[in-house]
Amino acid sequence: MRQWHAGLGIVAAALVLVGCYESTEVTVYDPGVYKGEEDPLMAKQRKEAQQERLRQRFRQVQTDR
């Protein structure tokens, strides 16, 4: 019974302690270099079709018509 209790205590302690775990992943900083995620929008914007879509939209919504 005691053992069972102790086991439970260890499990509980472990569960509580994992809350204190910090990821060891570190971003090494280089001045002037963006090291975040690559934005998928960048590639999309390079397509002429997408640029034309935005121009079309502009004519629809921004002009006085």
Partner 1 sequence: MKLTRKGSAGSGSAEGAPGTSASLEGQSIDRRTFLRRSGLSVGGVGAASVLPGYLMSRSRAAQDTAPKPDVETEIRRSVCTHCSVGCGVVAEVQNGVWTGQEPDFESPINLGAHCAKGASVREHGHGVKRVKYPMKLVNGKWKRLSWEQAVEEIGDKLLKIREESGPDAVFWCGSSKASNEGSYLQRKFASFWGTNNVDHQARICHSTTVAGVANTWGYGAMTNSYNDMHNCKAMLFCGSNAAEAHPVAMQHVLRGKENGAKMIVVDPRFTRTAAHADQFIRLRPGTDVAFIYGLLWHIFQNGWQDEEYIRQRVFAMDEIREEVLNNWDPATVEDVTGVPEEEMYQAAKTMAENRPGTIVWCMGHTQHHIGNNMTRADCILQLALGNIGVSGGGANIFRGHDNVQGATDVGPNCHTLPGYYGLSEDAWKHWARVWEVDYEWLRSRYDTRRKYNAGNGEMAYTMHIPGMPVSRWIDGVLEDKENLQQADNFRAIFFQGHAANSQTRNVEMKEALEKLDLVVVSDPYPTHLAVMSERQNDTYLLPTATQFETKGSVTASNRSLQWREQVIEPLFEAKPDHEILYLFAKKFGFADKMFKNIRVEDGVPSIEDTLREINRGTWSIGYTGQSPERLKLHAKHRGDFDTTTLQAKGGPADGEYYGLPWPCWGNPELGHLGTPILYDTSKPVAEGGLTFRARFGVEYEGENLLAEGSYSAGSGIKDGYPEFTLGMLRQLGWDKDLTAQEKATIARIGGIDVDESNLQEMSIREAIGSKADHINWKTDLSGGIQRVAIKHGCAPFGNAKARCKVWQFPDPIPKHREPLYTARYDLVDQYPTYEDRKAFYRLPTLYSSIQDKDYSGEYPLIFISGRLVEYEGGGAESRSSAWLAELQQEMFVEINTADANDRNIRDKQWVWLEGPEGGRIKIKAMVTPRVGRGVIWTPFHFGGWHQGEDLKDRYPEGTAPYVRGESCNTATTYGYDSVTQMQETKATLCEIKPA
Partner 2 sequence: MARMKFLCDAERCIECNACVTACKNENEVPWGVNRRRVVTLKDGEPGEKSISVACMHCTDAPCAAVCPVDCFYTTDDGIVLHDKDLCIGCGYCFYACPFGAPQFPEEKAFGMRGKMDKCTFCAGGPDPDNSEAEFKKYGANRIAEGKLPACAEMCATKALLAGDGDMIADIYRQRVIRRSGRPQTWGWQKAYGESI
**Residues interacting with partner 1, by CB under 8 A?**
15-16, 18-23, 60-61, 64-65
Amino acid at 22: E
Closest CB 24 distance from partner 2, rounded Å = 16
Q: Which one, 23 or 27, has the nearer CB to partner 1?
A: 23
Host H or E run for residue 60: helix 48-62
d(CA 46, CA 51): 8
Host H or E run for residue 61: helix 48-62
Q: Which one, 7 or 51, has the nearer CB to partner 2?
A: 51
Interface residue list for partner 2 (CB under 8 A): 27, 29-42, 44-46, 50-51, 53-59, 61-64
